[in-house]
Amino acid sequence: MPTEVKICGLRDAEAVDAALEAGADYVGFVFFERSPRNISVAEAAPLAARAREGARVVALTVNADDALLREILKTLRPDLMQLHGNETPDRVAAVRTLTGRPVMKAVPLATRSDLALAEHYRIADRLLLDAKPLPGATRPGGNAAAFDWTILDGFASPRPWLLAGGLTPTNIARALKTSRAPGVDVSSGVEKAPGVKDPHLIRAFVKAVRAFDRLARLLVG
């Protein structure tokens, strides 16, 4: 099965078009003021509409209240809600009920023991395994930091999952080989400046993932 690819933190039509042309499966929009990728719901709406024919739309929030979630649901009509804060399993379930959308919960990892959180959040429809932010970080993700992918050796996820954290066009093949991730999520690794996507890097990232998939099929076959 091809590796799922999510390009997150999009803020302009050029980046959306690059993701679609490259063949990304998901495009993500960030609704979190502390992030350099933050975008208003009104600004994201036409970009989501532009993307919808070719990819699934993901709305990323961090400890969002119900008012913001309702605004996103009404204006953006996302296919998937991504929760990237310290939302509890009960909150994950509540967001799914409120929005009527599947929910992907981010799980911060630094050591193998952190994988217990994946089981803790089995209520989620999907998981996003991301690098745990360093002390003093102002946001829970999008910090261009990777974790040790070898801690995923033998990991049996209770839910479909994506790998995130410090991925780039140059390290994605190694990340996939080591982690055996069924999907990947990139944001800072395809930027020319914080919050500014580089269409060339977006295309290079997806191309590298697809090249890995082709090689994997040849080796299996």
- Please give the positions annotated as active site: 8, 130
Q: b/e string for 157-184 if b means 16 or more Cβ within 10 A?
A: beeebbbbbbbbbeebeebbebbebebb
Q: For residue 125, what are the CA distances in angstroms to 32, 81, 115, 155?
A: 22, 10, 17, 17
**Distance between CA atoms of 57 and 72, rounded to whole angstroms?**
11
Q: For residue 180, what are the CA distances in angstroms to 117, 171, 172?
A: 19, 14, 11
Region class of 135: left (phi > 0), else alpha (psi between -120 and 50), else beta:
beta
**What SS3 state is found at 27?**
strand
How many helices and strands (H and E) does the chain possess? 7, 10
The residue ranges of DSSP E strands in 51-206, in sequence order, are 56-61, 80-83, 103-109, 126-131, 161-164, 183-186, 191-193, 196-197
**Distance between CA atoms of 105 and 129, rounded to whole angstroms?**
9
